Structure 1
Amino acid sequence: MEIATQSMVQNDPVNIASGIRDVEKSALGQSKHVTGSNEEAFLVTFSADDAGNPLNWSTHLKWGVTASVSGMAFIRIMVSTMMAPAITTIASELHMSTPEAFMALSVYLLAAAFGPLVIGPLSEVYGRKVVFHATSVWFLIWNLACGFADEKGVLIAARLLAGLGASAAFSLAYGVLGDVWPPEQRGRSVSLYLLVPLTGAAIGPIAAGFIVEYSTWRWMFWATTILQVVLEALSLLVLSESYAPFLLRKRAEKVRKYTGNQNYYAAIEMREAGRSTAWKLRRSLSRPLRLLAFHPIIQIQAILAGINYGLLYFALASFSSLHVSAYGESVAMSGLHYISICVGEIVGSQLCGPLMDYAYKRMKSHSGDRAVPELRVPILLPGVFFTPIGFLLYGWAAQYRLHWVVVDTGAALLALGMQIFDTTLHAYVMDAYPEHISSASAATQVLRSLLAFAFPLFSDALYKALGYGWGNGMMAFLSIGITLPATGILWRYGATLRARRDSSY
C-alpha cells in the first residue's frame, strides 16, 4: 500500500497541511485492513501525473535545464582542447619542454578522471543544483588563473584545478538528463544536449589559433572566463533541482513539519535510518569506485569509453601540427581543420539520437515491452566500424601527403564513429543505473579521462617512429580489436552480468 503525497504538496503551507490531513485519514483507514506494520502508508513518493516529478515537468522547462547543462559542457570541453594550437608558443614563452607542454594540455583531463568521483556522489547527497553551481565557480576561478600564469608549474597546477571544476560536466550533465527525460526520449535529449558542447572541441582550437597569431595566448583563458560568467548567470535563472530522491527527502521533511506526524518518510531516508552523516558521505563517495571494482557492466563500459576517448585525444593532439609541418599552413589556418572533427561528432550525435530512440521503441515492442538496457547495444555497431576506417584513411592520406580534404574526411569519419559509440554507451549507463546515474558516469569517467590524458603524451613519438600510416593503423586495430568483441559480450551476456551485480546503493 503506497500513498503518493507529492501531488498535493505545494509551497503554500496551508495547502500542504490540508492535503496531508486528507492523506493521513486515508492512510489510517487503510491501515485497519493491514496486518503488521503500516509503514508503506506513510511513504512519500510521486503520483503518476505529479507536476513536481522532474519526469513530468513541462517540455519547456526540461529543454531549459538541458540547454543550461549543455552550455556549461560547451565551455568546459572547449577549454580542454583549445591549448592544442598554442602548445609551441606557450612552451617557448614559459620555457617548457615538449612533454611538459603536452602535460599542460592533458592534465586538465587527468583532473576530469578524479573530479567526478567526488562531484557525482555529492550531487546524490546534496542535489544537482548546488553542486553544479559550486563547481562552476571553482572552474571559473582557476581558468582565469591560467591566463596569469608566468611559469610552467603555475600553468600546469591551474589547469589541473580548473579541470577538477570542469569535470562536473562529465558526470552531472548525464545525471540531470536521466532525471528529467524518460528512456523513450533519451536518445533525442542526449543528442540535442551534445549538439552545442561538441562544437567546443573544434571552436576551441580554431579560436585559439587566431588568438595566438594576432594577440597573446593568455586571452584563450580570459575570454573563456568571461563566457563562463555569462553562462553561469543564465544557469542561475534556469537550472532547477532535478534529483528525485533528494526532492522526495525534502518533501518528506516538509510533510513532517507541517503535520507534526513523524511517520512520513522518503525511501532514501528509510535506507539511511540510524546512520551518521559521516557514514552517508563515506557510502556515497565510495560508490563510483565500488561500481568500478565490483560491477562487470561498469568495468566493460569504462574500458570501451576509455579507449574511445583516448584515441580521440590522440588524434586531436597532433592534428594541428600535421597541417603546419606537412602542408605548410600557419597556426591559425591549421586550427580550422578541427572543423572536420567537429562535423563528424555533430553528425554522429544527431544521427545516433533519433536512431537510438527508434530502434529502442521497435525492439521494445518486439520483446513484449521489456525495457532493458541491452536494447541500446545494436547502435554501437556503426561506431565500431566507422572509427577504424576513419583512422586508416586519415593516417595513410597524411603519410602520402594526399590533399588535406582526404585527411579531414578520415578525421571526420573517426569522430563520427566515436560519437555514435560514446552516445550509445552513455544511454546504456543511464538505463542500467537510473538512481545513481552520476556515480555510474563518474566510475566510467576514470579510465576514460586517464587514457585521454595519457594518449597525447606519446602521439608525437609514435608518429615519428612509425609514421602517420602505421601509427594510425595501430590505433585502428586497437579500436576494433577491443570494441567489437566487447559489443558482442554486452549483447549476449549484458543482462546476465547486470543480474549478478549488487545494488548500486
Structure 2
Amino acid sequence: MTPTPQSEVSPDTITPVALSDVELAPIQPQQSKETDPFLVAFAEPHDADNPKDWPTGRKWAVTDVLSATGFNRIMVSTIMAPALSLIAKEFDMNSAESAMALSIYLLATAFGPLIIGPLSEVYGRKPILHASNIWFLIWNLVCGFANSKEVLIASRFLAGFGASAIYALANGVLGDIWRPEQRGRSLGVYLLIPLLGAAVGPIIGGFMAGRTTWRWMFWSTSIFQAVMILISFTAFHETYAPSILQSRAKIIRRETGDARYYTVDERQHTNNLPLRVLARALIRPLRLLAFHPIIQISSIISGFGYGVLYIVLSTFSDLWTKHYGQSVEISGLHYIACAIGEILGSQICAKVMDRLYHRMTVRSERTHSPELRLPSIIPGTILAPLGLLFYGWTAQYRLHWAVVDLGIMVALLGMQIQDMPLTAYVMEAYPEHVSSAMAASQFMRSLTAFLFPLFAPSMYDVMGYGWGNSTVAFITILIGVAGPWVLWVFGERLRGKARAIL
C-alpha cells in the first residue's frame, strides 16, 4: 500500500520537476494504486486531501474568497465611469484618452488570463492567486496617486492585468472542488457578489465624484483589496489536484527514501525539461483559441454578450444625465436595475441547471455529458433580445424611468441565463485544463468589453436607442440560437477531436 499522510497537504511552492533520475515505465491506461504501489493518487472512494471530498464548509470558504475578490476587481473596472469628465479635466485629456483610461483595464483582462491560467496549471492555484492579489493592490494604489494621464492609463492597464487572474482562476477552482451535480449552485453562489461589482462600481463612483476626490475610488478599493489579501492567506487552500498530489509524492519520497513514488502528472512530464512544460502550458490557451471549435463558438457567444453588457454599463449614465436631466449621483442609482437583473438571472439559472442535471442523468439513468448543459440557455436566448428591444424603444421615446429600468433588468437577466450554462459547458468539456479553457474564452469577452463601448456612443447618436438596441437584439438572437445548436449537434464529436490534439 502507498503511504498516505493523513494531514492536509499544503504546498508552498510547486515546481514542474521531472523525475529524470528514475527509470519509469509508461503509464498503462488502467494503471491505478492497486496495480502500481508506487503511484501516488487520491484514495477511493474518499480522500481528505481530494478537494472534491473536502468538507462543505471549506469548499464554501474557498468559493467565498474568490467571490469577494472577484467583486472588488470587477467593481474597479467600472467605478471611474461617472468621474471620467472630472479626471479628463484635471489631466487635460481628450475624449479618446478618457475612454482609454476606463477601458484599457478591460483590455488587460483579455491578455492576463492567457498567462495566469496556464501558470495555475503548473504551479497551482494558491501561489498564483496570492501573487495576483498583491500585484493588483500595488497598481490600483498607483492609480489613486497618479499625477498625469500617462501614469493613470499605464497603471490602469497593469492593475487590470493583475485583476484578470480571477477570470482564469475562479472557474478553475470551482471545477477543482465542486462536482457536476453541484455546478449550478456553486456558480450561482460564486457569481452572487461579483455580479454586483460591475453595477455597484458606477453607483459608488457617482457619489464619490460628487462628494469627494475621484482618487478615493482607488484608495477605498485598495483598502478592501488589502483586507482580502489577509483573508485569502488564511482561508484559501490549494485546490489543484496535480499540485496537491505532487506535494504528497515529495513527502513520501523524502520519508521513505524511495525515489520510485510518482504521480500521473509527474510521469507525463518525465522526459520534459521544466521550461518545456511551462512553455507548453503557456501556449495552451492560444492553441485552444486557434484550433478548438468548442472554444471558438463559445467565445463568440459569450464575447458578444459581454460586449453588449459593457455597452449598457458605459452608456447607461449618459442616458439619464443627458436625456433625462438627472444628476450624476442619481444616474448611478439606475445601475441597481442592472445588478438585480444579473443576480436574478444567476440564481434562477443555478436552480434550472441543477434540476435539469438531475432530470437528465439521475432520473433518466443517462451518463452526464457537457452538452446536457446547453438546453438551459434557451430561456436566456428569448429574454435577452426581448429586454434589449424593450429597453431601446422605451428609452427612445423617453418613457418613465421605471419602465426603462425594467427593460434593462430583463435584458441582463436573459444574458446571465445565457452565459452560466455556457461556462459550465466549457468547464466540463475541458475538465483537466479548466483555467486554460476559460482564459481562452475570456480573451474574446474582454476584447469585446474593451471595443464595444468605443463605438456605442456613435451608434446611439446615429441610430438612436431604439434602432441601435434593435440591431444588437437581432444579432443576439442569431448568435444565441446558431451557436448552441452547433454545440448540441456536433459537441461530442468536437470534444473527441479536442482530446486528440490537446
Give the TM interval when normalised to the shorter protein: over 0.9
Counterpart check, 1:42 vs 2:44: no
**How far is the alpha carbon of 1:41 from its aligned partner?**
3.1
Aligned to 2:22: none
Aligned to 2:393: 396
CA distance in 2, matches of 1:497, 1:360: 21
Aligned to 2:95: 98
Counterpart check, 1:348 vs 2:336: no
Q: Is the 8 A contact 1:356 1:424 kept in 2?
A: yes
Match of 1:160 among 157, 160, 173: 157
Aligned pair count reads 479
TM-score (norm 2): 0.93
After TM superposition, the structure 1 = structure 2 runs for residues 39-78 of structure 1, keeping only pairs within 5 Å, are 40-47=36-43, 48-78=45-75
CA distance in 1, matches of 2:142, 2:259: 49
- 1:351-381 deviations in whole A, cap 9, x for unaligned? 1111101101111135533110011000111
Aligned to 1:267: 264
CA distance in 2, matches of 1:11, 1:175: 20
CA distance in 2, matches of 1:411, 1:55: 38
- 1:190-230 deviations in whole A, cap 9, x for unaligned? 10011111111121110100000011111111110011111
Counterpart check, 1:330 vs 2:337: no
* Structure 1 runs not aligned, ≥5 long: 13-33
Match of 2:462 among 465, 484, 489: 465
CA distance in 2, matches of 1:4, 1:316: 55
Q: Is the 8 A contact 2:2 2:37 kept in 1?
A: no
Counterpart check, 1:291 vs 2:288: yes
- The percentage of counterpart residues that share the same residue type is 53
Aligned to 2:355: 358
Aligned to 2:16: none
Counterpart check, 1:237 vs 2:240: no
Aligned to 1:110: 107
* Structure 2 runs not aligned, ≥5 long: 10-29
Aligned to 2:406: 409
Q: Is the 8 A contact 1:436 1:504 kept in 2?
A: no
**How far is the alpha carbon of 1:39 from its aligned partner?**
7.5
Q: Is the 8 A contact 1:252 1:265 kept in 2?
A: yes
Match of 1:248 among 238, 245, 250: 245
**How far is the alpha carbon of 1:40 from its aligned partner?**
3.1
CA distance in 2, matches of 1:155, 1:367: 56
Q: Is the 8 A contact 1:79 1:204 kept in 2?
A: yes
Q: Is the 8 A contact 2:115 2:282 kept in 1?
A: yes
**How far is the alpha carbon of 1:395 from its aligned partner?**
0.8
Question: For 1:41, what is the secondary structure of its paired residue?
Answer: coil
Counterpart check, 1:380 vs 2:377: yes
Distance 1:358 1:286, change over 3 A: same
- 1:265-284 deviations in whole A, cap 9, x for unaligned? 10001110021111011011
Q: Is the 8 A contact 1:5 1:46 kept in 2?
A: no
- 1:116-173 deviations in whole A, cap 9, x for unaligned? 0110110111110010010000000111111112222211111100000000111101
**How far is the alpha carbon of 1:10 from its aligned partner?**
3.5
**How far is the alpha carbon of 1:503 from its aligned partner?**
4.8
Moved >2 Å (runs of 4+): 3-6, 8-12, 38-41, 365-369, 502-505
Distance 1:5 1:381, change over 3 A: farther
After TM superposition, the structure 1 = structure 2 runs for residues 110-129 of structure 1, keeping only pairs within 5 Å, are 110-129=107-126
Q: Is the 8 A contact 2:100 2:153 kept in 1?
A: yes
The code of the aligned residue for 2:95 comes to T
Q: Is the 8 A contact 2:67 2:190 kept in 1?
A: yes
Q: Please, what is the CA RMSD of the aligned residues?
A: 1.7
CA distance in 2, matches of 1:409, 1:480: 20
After TM superposition, the structure 1 = structure 2 runs for residues 310-321 of structure 1, keeping only pairs within 5 Å, are 310-321=307-318
Match of 1:258 among 249, 255, 258: 255
Distance 1:292 1:11, change over 3 A: closer
- 1:247-288 deviations in whole A, cap 9, x for unaligned? 111111111111122221100011100211110110110111
Aligned to 1:88: 85
Question: For 2:85, what is the secondary structure of its paired residue?
Answer: helix
